[in-house]
């Protein structure tokens, strides 16, 4: 009995192979007895919307310290003296939202593409130092750096690999961002001249930058998941380093601001 079943299975297999060979000889498509399931179609244009959580690290450089040094060097009652440490740094986080558009080229399971990505946010880091003035004056000197990052965009190349409904990918590209900066200094003190207190002094000066553009590079990775024909869900991580974001205006010798972003993003897209 076992021998007859084995012979029957072998006969069916041989017949299937013979049928495939005969169909190929006659120009007909071969039956798909041994053909793997087709690869998902990820090629073509796509668009989408997204939300993100973005963590920012800012190095304000020495702009506020230089602004304070210039303020202190001006003629003031009692000739106040003060200095703060540099550089000024800050870290903060905020939400973001945006959109993207891209194009994929597909070679079987391999995807290569290009994508433009835009995000609107409101990131507001802040750094402050307050020091006591040197005696005999009584009071403080304060240096402050602040920024407001409004939006950023990337142009990135992507390379992915299709695994059924999933398409994990890596990306690398260029970034541009826009922000406002302010470096300020304030003196609040009572001058003491020859041991005699004088009227209180409160002086502030600020150097600002509005809609300043920063440039840098980005890298990251993510995965797209095809939910149904054309509609896909995305999760990704993106690192952005703005190597220079301008420097404190009208203040000679200051170091440029630098900004680093780490974003975790969830998106929904549609492939045409």
- pLDDT average per 10 residues of sequence, the chain (272 residues): 42 43 48 47 95 95 89 93 90 96 95 97 95 94 94 97 95 96 94 93 91 93 94 97 76 76 97 94
Are 53 and 26 in the same domain?
Answer: no
- Same domain for 167 and 223, yes or no, is yes
End-to-end Cα distance, the chain: 56
Same domain? 124 vs 232: yes
From residue 46, alpha-carbon distances to 87, 100, 103, 199 in Å are 43, 8, 6, 67
Task: Please tell me the distance from the alpha carbon of residue 203 to that of residue 246, in angstroms, as a whole number.
Answer: 26
Instruction: Classify 69 as helix, strand or coil.
Output: helix
Query: Residue 56 belongs to what H/E stretch?
Result: strand 44-61
pLDDT at 80: 93
pLDDT score of 252:
59
- Residues 93 and 161 placed together within one structural domain of the fold: yes
For the entire predicted model, the pTM comes to 0.78
Nearest-CA neighbor of 160 among 98, 225, 99? 225
Query: Is 240 in contact with 260 (CB distance < 8 Å)?
Result: yes
13 and 140 co-located in one domain: no
Q: What is the CATH number of the domain that holds 177?
A: 2.40.160
- In terms of residues, how long is the chain? 272
Query: According to the model, what pLDDT value does residue 11 have?
Result: 46
- Whether 102 and 19 map to the same domain: the answer is no
Domain range enclosing 266: 42-271
Residues 20 and 123 both lie in one domain: no
- The count of domains in the chain is 2
**pLDDT at 34 (0 to 100):** 40
Give the count of alpha carbons within 13 A of 160, CB side only: 31
């Amino acid at each position: 009995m076992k021998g007859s079943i084995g012979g029957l299975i072998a006969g069916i297999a041989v017949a299937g192979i013979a049928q495939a060979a005969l169909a190929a000889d006659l120009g007909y498509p071969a039956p798909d007895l041994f053909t793997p399931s087709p690869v998902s179609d990820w090629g073509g244009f796509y668009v989408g919307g997204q939300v993100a959580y973005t963590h920012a690290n800012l190095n304000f450089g020495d702009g506020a310290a230089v602004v304070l040094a210039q303020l202190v060097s001006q003629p003031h009652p009692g000739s106040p003296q003060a200095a703060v440490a540099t550089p000024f740094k800050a870290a903060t986080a905020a939400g973001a939202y945006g959109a993207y558009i891209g194009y994929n080229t597909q070679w079987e399971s391999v995807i290569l593409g290009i994508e433009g990505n835009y995000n609107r946010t409101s990131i507001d880091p802040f750094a402050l130092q307050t020091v006591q003035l040197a005696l005999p004056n009584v009071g403080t000197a304060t240096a402050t750096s602040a920024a407001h990052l409004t939006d950023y965009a990337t142009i990135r190349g992507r390379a992915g690999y299709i695994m059924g409904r999933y398409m994990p990918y890596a990306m690398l590209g260029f970034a541009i961002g826009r922000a406002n900066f302010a470096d300020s200094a304030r003196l609040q003190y009572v001058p003491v001249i020859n041991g005699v207190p004088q009227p209180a002094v409160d002086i502030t000066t600020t150097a600002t930058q509005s809609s300043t553009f920063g440039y840098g590079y980005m890298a990251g990775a993510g995965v797209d998941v095809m939910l149904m024909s054309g509609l896909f869900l995305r999760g990704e991580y993106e690192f952005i380093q703005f190597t220079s974001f301008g420097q404190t205006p009208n203040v000679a010798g200051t170091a440029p601001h630098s900004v680093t972003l780490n974003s975790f993003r969830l998106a929904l897209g549609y492939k045409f």
